């Protein structure tokens, strides 16, 4: 009997009937989240600038998924993605501001390339503000909704990654804290989650800049083993997707203004040294 009850519980769709927009949904955490949202009963608009990948992901997920191009540095394109969800499905329940950019600057602060800094901030911080703004535009009148923002442990501990990336992810957490109080009075929740390193395409490029002499296999080892605090397991994009499902679902109905750190203890262990590549 217990086994049958457990199996039935696994079939519960925690996002049944909800409508979501995911920026940066063609690969990595965004792709994993799109799959998990669909699995849990949501209808998803995937946005990205990787058109072929985005269309392929949407086709693979079936009729409850659609792809539209969205360069998140252009506010009008974010607004259009939100409007597409409302036009197609009548509402927007979940906005996942996930698109990210690692940048290329790994120099000391005194040599910081501010043009690169501006590019990183445009994607990782300004676009998050725009995503929150336009999601709130359609959620507030309905007095319900969940806005999610992908941050990073780099925005929590503030070291170990290029300055632009760390500052931008701290800003994303700040956006959540700034917006949550105002939007709570309208029934809209705003939360972030901060993953540790996952060998997504974005992370592989970012860590590859930090360790330029390392091969792709060595970079993957650094991400998955050398900076991993939790023995016996490896963080995967699917783990973050499941965290996103929780924050987006009614199970988290009283959770807002929170930064859910998914790091296997990294930010409390602070082991910053890694094996040489």
pLDDT of 274 higher than 70:
no
Which of the four pLDDT bands, split at 50, 70 and 90, describes residue 212? confident
Three-state DSSP class for residue 180: helix
Share above pLDDT 90 across residues of the chain, in percent, rounded to a whole number: 69
Q: Residue 68 phi/psi, 5° resolution?
A: -140, 145
Q: Which CATH superfamily is domain 14-264 in?
A: NAD(P)-binding Rossmann-like Domain (3.40.50.720)
Q: Which residues are catalytic?
A: 165
Q: By CB neighbour count within 10 A (0-12 exposed, 13-18 middle, 19+ buried), where does 94 fall?
A: buried
Q: For 17-28, what is each residue's pLDDT tens digit? A: 999 999 999 999
Show the DSSP H helices in the chain as ranges.
2-10, 28-39, 51-61, 75-89, 114-121, 127-139, 154-157, 163-184, 201-210, 216-221, 237-248, 266-269
Mean pLDDT calculated for residue range 144-149: 98
pLDDT of 193 higher than 70:
yes
User: Would you give the distance in Å from CA 180 to the centre of its chain?
Assistant: 17
Three-state DSSP class for residue 104: coil
For residue 267, what pLDDT is reported?
A: 85
Which of the four pLDDT bands, split at 50, 70 and 90, describes residue 270? low
- Structural domain spans, the chain: 14-264
pLDDT of 277 higher than 50:
no
Q: For 85-141, what is each residue's pLDDT tens digit? A: 999 999 999 999 999 998 876 678 888 899 999 999 999 999 999 999 999 999 999
């Amino acid at each position: 009997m217990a086994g049958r009850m457990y199996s039935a519980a696994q079939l519960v769709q925690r996002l049944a009937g909800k409508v979501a927009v995911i920026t940066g949904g063609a690969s990595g955490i965004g792709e994993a989240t799109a799959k998990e949202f669909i699995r849990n009963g949501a209808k998803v608009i995937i946005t990205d600038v990787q058109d072929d990948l985005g269309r392929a992901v949407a086709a693979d997920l079936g009729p409850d998924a659609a792809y539209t191009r969205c360069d998140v540095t252009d506010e009008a394109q974010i607004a259009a993605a939100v409007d597409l969800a409302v036009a197609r499905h009548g509402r927007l329940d979940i906005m996942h501001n996930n698109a990210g950019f690692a940048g290329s600057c790994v120099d000391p602060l005194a040599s910081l390339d501010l043009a690169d800094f501006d590019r990183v901030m445009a994607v990782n911080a300004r676009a998050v503000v725009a995503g929150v703004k336009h999601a709130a535009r359609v959620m507030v009148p309905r007095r319900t909704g969940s806005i999610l923002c992908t941050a990073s442990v780099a925005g929590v501990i503030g070291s170990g990654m290029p300055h632009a990336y760390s500052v931008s992810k701290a800003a994303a957490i700040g956006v959540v804290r700034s917006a949550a109080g105002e939007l709570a009075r309208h029934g809209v929740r705003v939360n972030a989650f901060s993953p540790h390193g996952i060998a997504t395409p974005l992370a592989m490029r970012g860590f590859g800049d930090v360790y330029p002499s390392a091969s792709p296999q060595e970079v993957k080892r650094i991400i998955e083993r050398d900076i991993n605090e939790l023995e016996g397991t490896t963080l995967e994009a699917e783990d973050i997707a499941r965290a996103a499902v929780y924050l987006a679902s009614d199970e988290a109905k009283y959770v807002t203004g929170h930064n859910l750190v998914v790091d296997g203890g990294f930010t409390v262990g602070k082991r910053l040294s890694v094996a040489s590549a």
